């Protein structure tokens, strides 16, 4: 049920990747996503796969944790791939039946989309598996610090993230209690048609929202009693500091992007072009 939700997907281990500053990992993930949308041709894919494999190896996170994220996307992946294969016009039609046909472009598009999506999920889950949510929140606050200059309240955003993260398990427990209390009074959350299901949500949602508002009220009062008055002048218990490994990691990140761009320019050959020409 609701209780089964695990906060975060962090996999604890002692590895160089785990120890990196969260800002480095946020930046690396951003560059990785840019690379996935920038590469062209088979050489680019192979290089990205090799780089990803190397980082996974270094991180000591078991590969099966990486592929776990693929489960949620598999149906969408197959649906979209089928649409692409059967409904895309191309230069060479391999098979045809009414409005359905298989062409070279359809196959290439489907393969490209599937590869990119799989690499996207595996690669970006590295960040979430090797960094705790609180570290990432700190990293985000620092990384978005430049937005202060255009009046974006970065500290308030980070504070809201931290508060929300802290209250998720508390409110989950609250939701569970409310459900049990309402079931004890005869509510049925699991049967009936769509209208009945919708009605049964009301005795759950209303007390949940009311409870959240009361907690917000109490929390605000408690924070102000502790002399909280915004981000100005605050210090941090665990400040983020770059170390030598972080700087080395930045060099690797830029080198990675440079190679992807060079391969795009020099070797844009698609495997499909070789097969169908």
Q: Is 224 in the site for another protein (CB under 8 A)?
A: yes
In angstroms, the CA 137 to CA 25 distance is 12
- Name which of 188 and 262 has its Cβ closer to another protein: 188
Instruction: Tell which one of 16, 52, 90, 112 touches another protein (CB under 8 A).
Output: 112
- Name beta bridge partners: 102: 95
Name the token pair of 69: 């994220």
Residue of the chain from 31, 115, 117, 267 that contacts another protein (CB under 8 A): 117
The answer to whether residue 248 forms part of the interface with another protein (CB under 8 A) is no
**171 part of the interface to another protein, by CB under 8 A:** yes
Site size toward another protein, by CB under 8 A: 76
Q: Which of 168, 255, 266, 275 binds another protein (CB under 8 A)?
A: 168
49 part of the interface to another protein, by CB under 8 A: no
- Stretch of 38-46, 92-100, 218-226, 250-258 contacting another protein, by CB under 8 A: 218-226
Closest contact distance (angstroms) between CB of 43 and another protein is 21
Q: Does residue number 209 form part of the binding site for another protein (CB under 8 A)? A: yes
Largest CA distance in the chain: 74
- By CB under 8 A, residue 83 contacts another protein: yes
What's the closest the beta carbon of residue 244 comes to another protein, in angstroms? 25
For residue 276, state whether it binds another protein (rule: CB under 8 A): no
Query: Is the Cβ of residue 160 or residue 262 nearer to another protein in the bound state?
Result: 160
Subset of 173-202 contacting another protein (CB under 8 A): 175, 193-194, 197-198, 201-202
Binders of another protein among residues 4 to 33 (CB under 8 A) are 5-10, 29, 33
């Amino acid at each position: 049920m609701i209780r089964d939700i695990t906060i975060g997907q962090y996999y604890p281990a002692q590895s160089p990747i785990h120890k990196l500053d969260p800002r480095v990992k946020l930046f690396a993930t951003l560059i990785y996503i840019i690379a996935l949308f920038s590469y062209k041709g088979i050489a680019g894919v192979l290089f990205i796969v090799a780089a990803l494999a190397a980082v996974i190896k270094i991180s000591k996170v078991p590969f099966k944790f990486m592929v776990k994220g693929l489960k949620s996307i598999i149906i969408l992946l197959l649906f979209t791939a089928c649409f692409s294969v059967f409904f895309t016009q191309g230069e060479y039609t391999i098979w045809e039946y009414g409005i359905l046909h298989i062409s070279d472009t359809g196959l290439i598009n489907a393969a490209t989309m599937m590869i990119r999506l799989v690499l996207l999920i595996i690669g970006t889950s590295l960040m979430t598996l090797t960094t705790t949510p609180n570290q990432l929140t700190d990293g985000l606050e620092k990384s978005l610090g430049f937005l202060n200059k255009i009046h974006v309240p970065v500290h308030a955003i980070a504070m809201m993230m931290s508060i929300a993260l802290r209250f998720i398990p508390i409110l989950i427990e609250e939701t569970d209690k409310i459900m049990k209390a309402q079931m004890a009074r005869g509510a049925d959350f699991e049967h009936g048609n769509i209208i009945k299901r919708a009605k049964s949500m009301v005795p759950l949602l209303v007390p949940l929202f009311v409870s959240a508002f009361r907690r917000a009220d109490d929390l605000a009062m408690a924070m102000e009693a502790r002399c909280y008055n915004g981000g100005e002048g605050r210090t941090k218990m665990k400040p983020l500091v770059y170390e030598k490994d972080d700087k080395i990691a930045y060099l690797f990140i830029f080198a990675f992007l440079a190679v992807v761009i060079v391969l795009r320019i020099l070797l844009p050959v698609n495997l499909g072009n070789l097969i169908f020409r």
